[in-house]
Structure 1
Amino acid sequence: MTLEFDFYFSFRSPYSYLAAPQVEALMAKYDLKPRMRIVTPIAIRIPGFFKSVNPLWPPYLLRDTFRISQMNNIPYRWPRPDPIIMDIASGEVAAEQPYIHRVSRMAVAATRAGRGFEFARRASHKIWSGEVDAWHEGDHLSNAAAEAGLDAGAIEAEVRDNGEDLGAEITQNVADQRDAGHWGVPLFVFQNEPFFGQDRLDHLIWRMNQAGLAER
């Protein structure tokens, strides 16, 4: 029996990106399946967050994420452009956020089409790997949809025609994430138990083994 877990994921989170190939490897080894729950980044979820965050946190985050990428041989560079439009120095976040809303809504549409993880894995790679610039332009995200086994045109049309409904699902995901017991990403929830951070995947597998997780 395939065991499923919720995977709360943000496209602006380097830790979400770094978790994706590790989850992919677990999917190849075990009979498990993530249910993608796309959420908006913390810059949007918690207004004013970057105006009050400890100034030591951003440089540590960069050091830590580069270390994780090196340890796991995952290509990594801060996105160009940043998925969130903001003034890094002041922490001021722009009211209009076209980049993050588009890719997030594409991911919800992909999830509804049964290929949510596959899209998130490939789209986040376009954004974070450093292999492309201007990931938000041209056909990069459409290519990610096609690489995920989706009809890219249908996904784009869904975002164009039903963006408000897709956005409402993201809002619900944010509420469900909070109800699950944490505010950060990546967050994995199995049988109502939250596991926060890509460094908790071993704990997730340990718990799923207790529930009868089978190897492939």
Structure 2
Amino acid sequence: MSHVVDLYWSFRSPYSYLVVPRLLELERDFDAHVNVRPVLPIAVRQPEFFANSDPLWFSYLMRDCVRSAEFAGLPLRWPRPDPVVMDFATRTYPKDQPHIHRLTRLGVLAAEQGKGLAVLRAVSHLIWSGEVDGWHEGDHLAQAFAKAGCDLAEMDAVQMAEAERLDAAIKQNEADQREGGHYGVPLMVYDGEPFFGQDRYDQLVWRMRQKGMAGR
């Protein structure tokens, strides 16, 4: 039986983007399975989070995510547009969000189809790599889904028709995330133990090998 990791993951998180290639390697190299559990970003779940945080929190985040990407050998630029619309003057987030709910529902659908990690890899690269401006325009998103073996038009039709069911699944993911031991992303939970952040990946693998995970 494969060793299963629950992955709580957000399309707005640079650290979520950075961990996906390593999780793909985990499934490739070991007797392991990553159960993709998309969640909404903290900015949508708790809009007051950033408004009430120390300004150094955000400035450090910006510096650290760029450094972390450089260390991992991955390109990174803050998305254009941001998957979550923000008023930078007030550091607040309007309730009407044009991108993130669609993306998160599509992530849930991809996981249901057994293509969760592949979609996360292709779409997060599109959004975060800086290779294109306007990732939401033209056929950029459709091409990313196609790389993962998915048809965006078909999945969009489903996510609109089944929005209520998918939103309920996202809410359940968020509840299970907290039960797993943290509210942030990426959160990897293995055998009841939480590993928060892409920089805990090596500890995750260490623990999994301790508990008998073998190479393929």
TM-score when scaled to structure 2?
0.96
The one-letter code sitting in structure 2 at the alignment partner of 1:19 is V
Distance, in Å, in 2 between the alignment partners of 1:2 and 1:93 is: 40
Q: CA offsets per residue over residues 111-151 of structure 1, 9 Å max, x none? A: 11111111011111110000111112222222222111123
After TM superposition, give the deviation of residue 28 of structure 1 in Å: 2.5
Q: Is 1:152–2:152 an aligned residue pair?
A: yes
Equivalent in the alignment of 1:120: 120
Aligned length: 216
The one-letter code sitting in structure 2 at the alignment partner of 1:111 is A
1:145–1:155 Cα contact (<8 Å) kept: no
Between 17-26 and 79-88, the greater mean CA deviation after superposition: 17-26
Equivalent in the alignment of 1:143: 143
Q: In structure 1, the residue corresponding to 2:96 is in which secondary structure?
A: coil
The one-letter code sitting in structure 1 at the alignment partner of 2:94 is A
Equivalent in the alignment of 1:64: 64
1:187–1:197 Cα contact (<8 Å) kept: yes
Q: CA offsets per residue over residues 63-114 of structure 1, 9 Å max, x none? A: 1111111111101100000111111221111111121111111111111111
- What is the CA RMSD across the aligned residues, in angstroms? 1.2
Q: In structure 1, the residue corresponding to 2:55 is in which secondary structure?
A: coil
Equivalent in the alignment of 2:94: 94
2:47–2:92 Cα contact (<8 Å) kept: no
Alignment of 1:200-215 (within 5 A): 200-215=200-215
Q: In structure 2, the residue corresponding to 1:86 is in which secondary structure?
A: coil
Equivalent in the alignment of 2:77: 77
1:50–1:91 Cα contact (<8 Å) kept: yes
After TM superposition, give the deviation of residue 4 of structure 1 in Å: 1.3
The one-letter code sitting in structure 2 at the alignment partner of 1:24 is L
1:103–1:141 Cα contact (<8 Å) kept: no
Distance, in Å, in 1 between the alignment partners of 2:92 and 2:192 is: 35
Q: CA offsets per residue over residues 133-174 of structure 1, 9 Å max, x none? A: 111222222222211112333212211211221111111111
The answer for unaligned runs of 5 or more in structure 2 is none
Equivalent in the alignment of 1:176: 176
Distance, in Å, in 1 between the alignment partners of 2:103 and 2:141 is: 7
After TM superposition, give the deviation of residue 34 of structure 1 in Å: 0.8
Q: In structure 1, the residue corresponding to 2:114 is in which secondary structure?
A: coil
Distance, in Å, in 2 between the alignment partners of 1:172 and 1:20 is: 22
TM-score when scaled to structure 1?
0.96
Equivalent in the alignment of 2:186: 186
Q: CA offsets per residue over residues 161-198 of structure 1, 9 Å max, x none? A: 11221111111111110111101000000111111011
Distance, in Å, in 2 between the alignment partners of 1:163 and 1:120 is: 19
Distance, in Å, in 1 between the alignment partners of 2:111 and 2:98 is: 20
Equivalent in the alignment of 1:35: 35
The answer for unaligned runs of 5 or more in structure 1 is none
Identity rate of aligned residues, in percent?
Answer: 51
Distance, in Å, in 2 between the alignment partners of 1:149 and 1:35 is: 18
Distance, in Å, in 2 between the alignment partners of 1:156 and 1:120 is: 16
Distance, in Å, in 1 between the alignment partners of 2:162 and 2:139 is: 20
After TM superposition, give the deviation of residue 5 of structure 1 in Å: 0.6
1:142–1:156 Cα contact (<8 Å) kept: no
After TM superposition, give the deviation of residue 47 of structure 1 in Å: 2.7
1:188–1:196 Cα contact (<8 Å) kept: yes
1:32–1:213 Cα contact (<8 Å) kept: yes
